[in-house]
Amino acid sequence: MTERLDGRTILVTGANGGLGQEFVRLGLARGARRVYAAARTPRAWEDARVVPITLDLNDAASVAAAAATATDVDLLVNNAATAPPNAGTVLTVDDETAHAIFETNYFGTVRVTRAFAPVLAANGGGSILNVLSLSAWTPIPTAYAASKAAAWSATNAVRAELAPQGTAVTGLMVGLIDTAMSSDWKMPKMSPASVVEQAYDGVAHGAFEVLADEETRTVKGKLSDRAEDLNAYIAAWMAGSAQR
Ligand SMILES: NC(=O)c1ccc[n+]([C@@H]2O[C@H](COP(=O)([O-])OP(=O)(O)OC[C@H]3O[C@@H](n4cnc5c(N)ncnc54)[C@H](OP(=O)(O)O)[C@@H]3O)[C@@H](O)[C@H]2O)c1
């Protein structure tokens, strides 16, 4: 499937690289009339349909300014997140780092959503796509995973909260993607383009959830298993020998 996004106006957070730049590129390829490429330090783009815009998830003034500028947005892609390397585990991470992870991945994502909800309402309801992570569903012991679990919960809450204004909310669940964020993980990874293609198809269909790789689809199927079994499956997968 390659559903069209003709005439739509998209804002992508964290647009400068990785998955974000694919959301920009493939949004244009599917017919978006304009894509706001939001970043802490915006860069130049060659396509006139791309509007670079400053947006730091952790700076309320910058979020408000972006929402006041990009008043034609009807698809918000909450893509930006942080996963500091060598941050340690839930128990060993230092407080400052753990707070920074949650500040961006949970509070920042919610902050942007809150600011753009009225914009989406004014433009007919529109859509929100939240880039989450398979780690939200698995016993991976990092503050990043915990922050994505919180963001997953918020995604479901916001879907219910914004339904009356006609805003569709899609959560993108995905395992490893070949970007800078996953460079320390020596495991098979999805291409950013493949993930974005599936995500945009999900948005076009108003899907609640997009499961973008085989591992995520497998884990989704195991969520109703005993927690002990899911835990054992993930441990085997992490060791590189998961049995499907
Ligand atoms: N890579 C994976 O394996 C993987 C797997 C599952 C889910 N994801 C999710 O995919 C999304 C995109 O990540 P990626 O893989 O493309 O990694 P990435 O290349 O590290 O991109 C993350 C982006 O987020 C931006 N960002 C971080 N903090 C920000 C803030 N406070 N305000 C605004 N922007 C901020 C970064 O901007 P700067 O350029 O300014 O640093 C960067 O552009 C994230 O939500 C991530 O959690 C990734």
**Ligand 1 contact via 11 beta carbon (within 6 Å):** no
Q: What pLDDT is attached to residue 242?
A: 52
226 vs 136: CA distance, rounded Å: 17
Confidence of residue 81 (pLDDT cuts 50, 70, 90): very high
Distance 33 CA to ligand 1 centre (A): 24
Q: Which pLDDT does position 226 carry in this prediction?
A: 95
Ligand 1: does its nearest atom lie under 6 Å from the Cβ of 151?
A: no
Inter-residue contact 85 to 97 (CB < 8 Å): no
pLDDT(243) > 70: no
The CB of 13 under 6 Å from ligand 1? The reply is: yes
* Active centre residues (catalytic): 144
Instruction: State in Å: Cα 8 to ligand 1 middle.
Output: 23
Check if 82 has its Cβ closer than 6 Å to any atom of ligand 1: yes
Is the pTM above the cut of 0.95?
yes
Side-by-side strand order, sheet with 34-39: 50-54, 34-39, 9-12, 75-78, 127-131, 168-173, 209-211
Residue 79 Cβ contacting ligand 1 at under 6 Å? yes
CA of 41 to the centre of ligand 1 (A): 14
* Percent of the chain whose predicted confidence (pLDDT) is above 90: 92
Mean pLDDT for all residues in the chain: 96
Range 184-211 average pLDDT? 96
Mean pLDDT in residue range 32-50: 98
Q: Is 217 exposed, middle or buried (0-12, 13-18, 19+ CB in 10 A)?
A: middle
Rounded to an integer, the average pLDDT of 31-44 is 98
The CA 107 to ligand 1 mean position distance, Å, reads 15
145/81 Cα distance (integer angstroms): 11
